[in-house]
Amino acid sequence: MNIDHNILTIITFTPLAGAIVLTLLPDRDKLQQWGALAVTLLTFLFTLHLPFHFDHTAAATAFQFEQNLPWITSPAIRYHVGVDGLSMWFVVLTGLLAPLGVLISWRAIDSRRRLFYVLFLLQQVAMLGIFVSLDLFLYYAFWELSLVPMALLIATFGRTENRRRAAIKFFLYTFIPSAMLLVAMLWLYTRTGTFDYPQLAALAATHGISGNTAALWLASLAFLAAFAVKVPVFPLHGWLADAVSEAPTAAVMVIAGKLGLYSILRFSFGIFPGQSHRIAPLMLALGAIGIVYGALLALVQKDLKRLAAFGTLGHVSVVILGIFAFTVSGIDGGIYQALNEGIGGSALFMLLGLLYERYRTYDMREYGGLAANLPWVVTMFVLTALSVTGLPMLNGFVGEFLVFSGTMQSAIAHHIGWTTLATTGVILTASYMLWMIQKVFYGELGPRSESITAPDLSAREHLALWPLVALFLFMGIASPIFMKAINTAGTRIAETVNHSQGTTVNFEAASSHSDHTDMTTTSSATKGAR
């Protein structure tokens, strides 16, 4: 039997099996840590199967490593998984971050380790499930499931007394828009009789979902809003700072960004191409505002973790700006930047976490002059900062360059103004990152850094950080390796959305409903002929 048909199932459910094993193991010595590390490493190895066996030559629309089995007969729900150029690297990234998350939590989580690692692995299952699901029901199941372990991680392992409130806030912020997402999904099902994403996307491309433009419009908004909260897009970021500042490092690494961004790219653009195009000017504006707003807020934070949280808001906004430009380079850059955010953000939060482990505070005023004591930490910090600010040769540059050049070429109204505004965000990002480094590592010794002498990076911490730092460089100079798959997806998305726009214009010209149906048939016929 060919492993290609099962590999995604194996990837998704290995952490689940691991979680069950950990539940049965005692919470003694380092047993839980080693167990979790083994499971996550194994999962990562499985995810590496994907890029090595990914067929770049196949038709760009095709999903690979597919598995499609009946699950629930009525309503028609299938267990359908598969990846394409869009989701593949996200799966690998999720696989990579997990063992690093375990390494960085090794000592930070010193009580109730079993609960922590079991929840951590369940979170892993949900995230991998989100990236591989091609059935809307299955996708939604994983999407909602991802909330529970995260909320519990925050509620249980949060830093301050505020943790329960932050957890509930996080949960509610995502859950309520998701309820509307479910309504929209169910509505789609009643229109089309299927939850299958490829079928829905094919129907959408031929305007076959529904003739009711108002309902389609509302459904697309429900989809977009649910995803935008998760990203988060300005002004829906209310949960971010609280959740980030409470959550343990390993959880923060995955809390924002890629899940929501991927979902927009896959489902909003795939099922509602015309509507996405229509809302793009607004989203471009929100993206640009988010970049500047996030960076400005980051500039005035005293708390390092809140600073990084608002920084994250800025970085995900760059992605929003790129993908809603609907040019190939904008979308490619957006996807690339989403990956960068995953790597760079994780590195930053890991570094902050290990500072906290040493000095028990995130208050920037307590720090200062650490560079002499902690040469390795400062090196890593600077590298991360450079990557995040988009220095050439590092990964951030590739993504940002593509995003901004893609946005400049975009056909969406007002793009130049917003792009210009957005590029100032690059400067602001550089300022708060360097400002932070200066405050924490240089200058006079702060109260904490004076009273506590802490060791530099341990071997375990080196192990956790080096893969990310290596990726900064590797993804900066060898971007074509990654871009090959991403570009197939980016091109397809750009085509779908722009193509849908062309036909919609024709539709509006069409006078009666019968014309409408005729044209739907013709356009599907021409597509078939091609």
Partner 1 sequence: MAPNVLALLPEYILTITGVLVMLADPLFPDEKARKPLGWLAILGTVAAGLASWYQLRFGVLHAFYGTIQVDSFSVFFHLLIAAVALVTLLSSLDYFEGHANVAGEYFALVLFGATGMMLMTCSVELLMVFVGLEISSISTYIMAGFRKGKAPASEASIKYFLLGSFATAFFLYGIALAFGATGSTRIDAIAQGLATTSAPTLAFLSLALIIIGIGFKVSAAPFQVWTPDVYQGAPAPVVGLMSTAPKAAAFAVLLRILFSGFPAYEHRWAALIWIIAALSMFVGNLGALMQRDVKRMLAYSSIAHAGYLLVAYTAFPADGIASACFYTAAYAAMNVGAFTAITIIGGYNERARTIDDYAGLALKRPALAAALGLFLISLIGIPFTGGFFGKFYVFSAALHSGNVWLAVIGLLNSGIACFYYLRLLAALYAKPAQQNEHATYSPVTVPAAIALTFTAVATVLLGIAPNRILGLAQRSASVTTNQSSPLQPSAGTVSSTGTH
Taking CB under 8 A as the rule, does residue 507 contact partner 1?
no
Provide the minimum distance between the beta carbon of 434 and partner 1 in the complex, in angstroms, as a whole number. 38
User: Scanning residues 469 to 498, which ones bind partner 1 (CB under 8 A)?
Assistant: none
Contact predicate 266/259, CB 8 Å: no
Task: Write the DSSP string, 117-173.
Answer: HHHHHHHHHHHHHHHHB-BHHHHHHHHHHTHHHHHHHHHHH-SSTTHHHHHHHHHHH
Nearer to partner 1, 193 or 392 (CB): 193
Give the torsion through C-alpha atoms of 202, 203, 205, 208, to 10 deg: 170
Rounded Cα–Cα distance for residues 437 and 98 (Å): 27
Answer yes or no: are the C-beta atoms of 269 and 325 closer than 8 Å. Answer: no
User: By C-beta, is 72 or 416 nearer to partner 1?
Assistant: 72
End-to-end C-alpha distance for the chain, whole angstroms: 34
Q: How far is the CB of 152 from partner 1 (least distance, A)?
A: 6
Q: Which of 422, 275, 403 lies closest to 339 in space, CA to CA? A: 403
Q: In terms of CB distance, is 74 or 453 closer to partner 1?
A: 74
List phi, psi (to 5°) of 425.
-60, -30
DSSP codes of every residue in 49-69: HHHHH--TTS-TT--EEEEEE
**Residue 167 sits in the site that holds partner 1 (CB under 8 A):** yes
DSSP code, position 66: E
Q: Does 22 bind partner 1 (CB under 8 A)?
A: no
13 counts as binding partner 1 under rule CB under 8 A: no
Closest to partner 1 by CB, 170 vs 310, is 170
Shortest Cβ 260–partner 1 spacing (Å): 18
Q: Could you tell me the smallest distance in angstroms from the CB atom of residue 46 to partner 1? A: 22
The span of 44-52, 155-163, 309-317, 451-459 binding partner 1 (CB under 8 A) equals 155-163
What track of x and - describes contact with partner 1 for positions 87 through 126 (by CB under 8 A)? -------------------------x--x-----------
- Is residue 74 close enough to count as binding partner 1 by CB under 8 A? yes
Measured distance CA(458)–CA(429) in Å, rounded: 29
Q: Is the separation of the CB atoms in 86 and 133 below 8 Å?
A: no
| Secondary structure (3-state) at 272 | coil
Residue of 49, 107, 159, 164 that binds partner 1 (CB under 8 A) = 164
Structure tokens at 32: 């839980």
Cis peptide bond N-terminal to 177, omega within 30: no
Q: Which stretch binds partner 1 (CB under 8 A): 165-173, 228-236, 352-360, 430-438?
A: 165-173
Residue closer to partner 1, measured from CB, 156 or 405: 156
Instruction: State how far the Cα of 278 lies from the Cα of 463, in Å rounded to an integer.
Output: 46
Q: Which of residues 344-373 bind partner 1 (CB under 8 A)?
A: none
List binders of partner 1 among 176-215 (CB under 8 A): 176, 179-180, 182-183, 186-187, 189-193
Residue closer to partner 1 by CB (options 151, 440) is: 151
Task: Confirm or reject binding of residue 295 to partner 1 (CB under 8 A).
Answer: no
Bond before 15 cis per omega within 30 degrees: no
Q: Is 72 in the site for partner 1 (CB under 8 A)?
A: yes
Nearer to partner 1, 89 or 239 (CB): 239
Applying CB under 8 A, the span of 67-75, 94-102, 357-365, 394-402 interacting with partner 1 comes to: 67-75
**Beta carbon nearer to partner 1, 55 or 518:** 518
Binding segment for partner 1 (CB under 8 A), chosen from 5-13, 164-172, 235-243, 521-529, is: 164-172
Q: What number of chain residues touch partner 1 (CB under 8 A)?
A: 37
* Closest CB to partner 1 among residues 5, 164: 164
> Token pair for residue 74?
């009525």
Please identify, using beta-carbon distances, which residue of 171 and 293 lies nearer to partner 1. 171
Query: Given the complex with partner 1, which of 187 and 272 has the nearer CB atom?
Result: 187
Q: How far apart are CA 401 and CA 337, in angstroms?
A: 10
Task: Please say whether the beta carbons of 299 and 432 come within 8 A.
Answer: yes
Q: Quote the CA–CA distance of 53 and 525 in Å, as a whole number.
A: 34
Are residues 99 and 41 in contact, defined by beta-carbon separation less than 8 angstroms? yes
Instruction: Please check whether residue 192 is in contact with residue 271, taking contact to mean a CB–CB distance below 8 angstroms.
Output: no
Which residues would be at the binding site for partner 1 (CB under 8 A)? 72-75, 112, 115, 137, 140-142, 144-145, 147-148, 151-152, 155-156, 163-164, 167-168, 171-172, 175-176, 179-180, 182-183, 186-187, 189-193
